[in-house]
Structure 1
């Protein structure tokens, strides 16, 4: 009795799979592109000649000048979809994070942050009085990125 029931269930499953496969093939064939037509060969008089004195091609596209804010935006927008995802925003900071993460465990402990901060403070405190005056504090400002010349003409 069990074999009979099992055989009937398997037969129904096979019929169901066959139906889904058959319907899927019909949808694929409906969405198929039409057959390609044979390419038409141009007449000899339609072919270009070497006398190109009076011919003009299309104008080259004009490059628009990006504003400073657009340049900053596109530095973060890696895939150029005009949206900045969280991963795109954080990816620019990963090099700075790796510098702070001394033991390389991808966790920034307070000690790792404190060591870097103390080293930065001591580097700026030139007279060693454990206080920063205005001139010493100005040395802690991030240095502007040096821009490379556009071309070496």
Structure 2
């Protein structure tokens, strides 16, 4: 019995929504501007013809494949000036907090984190200018560990 009442109620709602939609559509069409006057087309020669060879558009951007090291470099180089400043390097190191806990108390202070990251940056900055070039940054790449082969 409850399903029948629910079905009748939903049917009433759907029909009222449809009625309101139909009435609203009729009012818009009622006040629509008159259709423009159509001039008789005299011949197909009056239609504009365009030569595709004359058309020019913007050049599509060139896609370049980035190496794994370039992708890693640009994660740190936020302003894309091809150098990594100390602030850029420090701002992206939030994932390594647990690895940087020097005193082993499971709490990482900002000082512990900043000192370790600054030492890593200074170790990679071979010319000591406070910026990492792509070649200098490549020395900070994590060493890949070979996965053991399956002994099936």
Q: TM-score, normalised by structure 1?
A: 0.32
Which of structures 1 and 2 has the larger relative contact order (alpha carbons within 8 angstroms, sep 6+)?
2
